[in-house]
Structure 1
Amino acid sequence: MRTVVYGMMVTIDGFIEGPNHQLDWPIIDDELHEYVNEQQRSKDTYVLGRRLYEMMEAFWPTADQDPSAPPYIVEFARIWRDTPKVVFSKTLDQVGPNARLVRDDVVDEVARLKQQPGKDIDVGGASIAASLMRHDLIDEYHLFIHPVVLGGGTPMFPALSDQRLLRLIDMRTFRSGVVFLRYQPADAEHVR
């Protein structure tokens, strides 16, 4: 069975974007980007909502064509293009290359994908993750906590009807002050 990973850049006060969807706050240097690239190589499917997909698709498909792009940008551009994407949207009419548009229930689709052979599944976006959390479909949480306080915006985690107990299974601190935390549900049978 594949592992479903919800990972995001998040502020110290728990937001993944500012009140007006700003994403100008992450501290992403070469060390952090190279680490993210390494993690992304273990995934073979991205599950995304419309807004995150459109933002990523606006930049990454051609980011490696800039002659001044550093190697870690070139590498992630290739990872982005090569990784199949499942985009959930009721408003988009079409998606780009190597992407599939799905209008149906995200829970059913991810449960089906999880049963297929393959590498890890990367979930991007708070609303999709919220649905999957409510149905216990997330196997790992990857938080890149940035030393930034926004005071408002889109929270990484939704309001839930019951608490979720997690177990820390890995952590790393970067020169920039960003801290990576990797969690599994506490009732997971074993550390993956």
Structure 2
Amino acid sequence: MRKLVYGFGVTVDGFINDRDGKIDWTDPDEELHQFHNDRYREIEVSLHGRRLYELMADYWPDVPADAPPIMREFAELWTSKPKVVFSRTLTEVGWNSTLVSDNAVEAVRRLKSEGDGIIEVGGANLAASLMPHHLIDEYQLFVSPIVLGGGTPMFPPLPAPIPLRLVETKHFAQVVMMRYLAD
């Protein structure tokens, strides 16, 4: 069965973006960017909520030719990687993507059962819909040294706790990655 990973840049106070939806505080240095590129390369399928998909689709397919090589590398990875986009409002998606407009929980259960690789879920709302069903196997938090005081939380209110086990930490220049497995 495929493993589902939820990983995001997050503030010390638990937000993945600010009150205006901006993520400019997450700008990775070259080491962290390469880590994300290498990590993304291992992912079989990437699951996106509508907002994250639109954010990514607005930027990565048109990275300027003079962008740093590490950014061009990620642009190639993102545009070529199979993606499943969950949205009730979009009518079409591009860049090797499939659109799902109904029952995300059932679609993710099916996707998990169709292989044995790694799937990544991107988008706090999409991840929040999967957490109560215990579909996320691994959580990767990339904690940045900033307190926003508001924005989109990485974790929603849940009906019951989700026990986690810390299996790895990694220090970057400005970010600490903590990797947890769901018990």
- Give me the TM-score of the superposition, normalised by structure 1: 0.92
CA distance in 2, matches of 1:62, 1:80: 11
Superposition deviation, residue 27 in structure 1: 3.6
Q: Secondary structure at the residue paired with 2:149?
A: coil
Q: How many residues align?
A: 183
Task: Give, as a single letter, the amino acid of the residue that structure 2 aligns with 1:91.
Answer: T
**Corresponding residue of 2:127:** 129
Superposition deviation, residue 118 in structure 1: 4.9
**Corresponding residue of 1:79:** 77
Q: Secondary structure at the residue paired with 1:164?
A: coil
Q: 1:1-192 to 2 correspondence within 5 Å?
A: 1-63=1-63, 66-175=64-173, 177-185=174-182, 187=183
Deviation >2 Å, runs of 4+ = none
Task: Give, as a single letter, the amino acid of the residue that structure 1 aligns with 2:22.
Answer: Q
Unaligned runs of 5+ in 1: 188-192
Task: Give, as a single letter, the amino acid of the residue that structure 2 aligns with 1:179.
Answer: V
Residues 116 and 6 of structure 1: CA distance in aligned 2, closer, same or farther (over 3 Å): same
Query: Percent of pairs identical after alignment?
Result: 51
Q: Secondary structure at the residue paired with 1:117?
A: coil
- Give me the TM-score of the superposition, normalised by structure 2: 0.97
Task: Give, as a single letter, the amino acid of the residue that structure 2 aligns with 1:26.
Answer: T
Superposition deviation, residue 170 in structure 1: 0.9
Deviations 1:116-163 (A, max 9, x none): 125211101111111111000000001100001100000000101111
Contact (CA 8 Å) 1:44, 1:118: kept in 2 or not? no
Unaligned runs of 5+ in 2: none
CA distance in 2, matches of 1:57, 1:118: 27
